[in-house]
Structure 1
Amino acid sequence: MARGHPRPGAGGGHAVTDNRKTQLAQNLAQVEERISAACAKAGRPREEVTLIVVTKTYPASDVRLLAELGVRQVAENRDQEAAFKAAECTDLPLTWHFVGQLQTNKVRSVAGYAGIVQSVDRSRLVTTLSKEAVRAERELGCLIQVALDAESGVRGERGGVAPDGVAPLAEQIAGSQGLRLDGVMTVAPLAGPYAGRELAAFERLMEISSDLHADHPAANMVSAGMSADLEDAVAAGATHVRVGTAVLGVRPRLR
């Protein structure tokens, strides 16, 4: 385990917790400055952009500290880890976002704790999400993950649907029980015409969002940008940025 990221029960007691909370508060303040500056530069009100903190690989104790510091939106990309942390934090006023590629056999679990699934990218997944949302008597927000590196009809390496697949998937979500169509999401692509061109990629996502919004006026959420490129996402018009490393620190290597 990397230094400075103790698991619950690590030695040092309150001193360790206090040090970690101070560290997280400083990091959050720096991210807040970046978002505020990006909004000012883009001529956007600060309240138009929501910070989602990606807590993957970090313990539930960090989630608790973040909640104490005012964070209300957190994200995870692996169900096993997310389900455990969500169960540990049921008393906190948090919305959990699932942002990883989602296998249908994990949907029942995810439907139990996630408020929004940001990685909806295929018809079968929509069908399963609807079934499990109804079973859990919950409404799940859905973002369509757009793969800007995908050729027509092909999913990208990180998941996602090609731009021309967004409209039919949106219709299916909008017509499915237990689901709410909230908008679109993307990850800056590593290949294709937008590789290394984050601003252009996010501007393309905004065009896709505008087309979606014309048919589904309530679907106005645009999730884009991470620690390294949140300024480009804000400049393009994103409503939500997903920040992990800049808040929690560089993650330990996964073995």
Structure 2
Amino acid sequence: MTDRRSELAENLARVEERIAAACVAAGRKREEVTLIVVTKTYPASDVRLLHELGVRHVAENKDQEAAPKAAACSDLDLNWHFVGQLQTNKVRSVASYADIVQSVDRLKLVRALSTAAARAERELGCLIQVALDAESGQQGERGGVSPDGVEELAAAVDDAPGLRLDGLMTVAPLAGPYAGRQQAAFERLMDLSTALRRARPAANMVSAGMSADLEEAVAAGATHVRVGTAVLGVRPRLG
């Protein structure tokens, strides 16, 4: 076993213990929570090691890094999640490898994703990214649509060929009423998910929580947590 494989195995085990303990504390079953490992800035060789260790969901946030990495790992049974703010000029590339785009936050992006999915003859899962720090109708600093814009985007995804509405995603906000109140933020996302699922019961995915706050996300009811640093280590500085 290589040193890197051992390091990743130990980190994964610690994260697994955290998720399992959070599930127990919340009265939830462990299988209700899926771990997505965020592999941005790390090489395809790490993705291969993670796959060997049982990881099946990985996430990236920049197409220029994700596309070659996904190509290098195309022989593996992995679910690729795109979690970054997505420019429409990158949509065609992202639609060629991503299974789920977690950062759908505007109508123009829905239209572009639909066109690209149809061209690639693929079905793309979509999560609407909710910006809990956004003023009414405004986009948050980390992307996302304000809570009162969720229904309009959900209807657009419903009507878009090649797209499937899977649920909601958020990042704990750094400003606004939920700043520093991660669990309250995630509980707000769950309220929005409940409303969404009244008419769309299949859109039951709730992606929330990262390395620092996965426990709060599990307590609130998240179905997926996005963990990078706690598995792969502190990211190298870029630039």
Cα deviation code 1:182-229 (max 9, x no counterpart):
000000000000000000000000000000001111000000000000
User: Following the alignment from structure 1 to structure 2, what is the Cα–Cα distance between the partners of residues 254 and 216?
Assistant: 41
Q: What secondary structure, in the 3-state scheme, does the structure 2 residue paired with 1:75 have?
A: strand
The answer for the alignment partner of 1:191 in structure 2 is 175
Unaligned runs of at least 5 residues, structure 1:
1-16
Q: In structure 1, give the amino acid aligned to 2:62.
A: R
Cα deviation code 1:63-114 (max 9, x no counterpart):
0000000000000000000001000000000010000000000000000000
Aligned partner of 1:151 among 123, 127, 135: 135
Aligned partner of 2:78 among 88, 94, 111: 94
The answer for the alignment partner of 1:234 in structure 2 is 218
User: Following the alignment from structure 2 to structure 1, what is the Cα–Cα distance between the partners of residues 185 and 161?
Assistant: 32
1:63 aligns with 2:85: no
Q: What secondary structure, in the 3-state scheme, does the structure 2 residue paired with 1:184 have?
A: strand
User: Following the alignment from structure 1 to structure 2, what is the Cα–Cα distance between the partners of residues 192 and 121?
Assistant: 19
RMSD: 0.5
Q: 1:254: Cα distance to partner?
A: 1.2
Q: What secondary structure, in the 3-state scheme, does the structure 2 residue paired with 1:108 have?
A: helix
Identity %: 77
Larger radius of gyration: 1
Q: In structure 2, give the amino acid aligned to 1:72.
A: R
1:245 aligns with 2:222: no
User: Following the alignment from structure 1 to structure 2, what is the Cα–Cα distance between the partners of residues 70 and 200?
Assistant: 32
User: Following the alignment from structure 2 to structure 1, what is the Cα–Cα distance between the partners of residues 91 and 115?
Assistant: 9
Q: What secondary structure, in the 3-state scheme, does the structure 2 residue paired with 1:149 have?
A: coil
User: Following the alignment from structure 1 to structure 2, what is the Cα–Cα distance between the partners of residues 219 and 254?
Assistant: 36
State the aligned residue count: 239
Runs of 4+, deviation exceeding 2 Å:
none
TM-score by length of structure 2 reads 0.99
The answer for the alignment partner of 1:12 in structure 2 is none
User: Following the alignment from structure 1 to structure 2, what is the Cα–Cα distance between the partners of residues 141 and 75?
Assistant: 14
1:125 aligns with 2:115: no
1:42 aligns with 2:42: no
Aligned partner of 2:151 among 167, 178, 192: 167
TM-score by length of structure 1 reads 0.93
1:254 aligns with 2:223: no
User: Following the alignment from structure 1 to structure 2, what is the Cα–Cα distance between the partners of residues 231 and 209?
Assistant: 19
User: Following the alignment from structure 1 to structure 2, what is the Cα–Cα distance between the partners of residues 167 and 220?
Assistant: 15
Q: In structure 1, give the amino acid aligned to 2:99.
A: G
User: Following the alignment from structure 1 to structure 2, what is the Cα–Cα distance between the partners of residues 84 and 194?
Assistant: 36
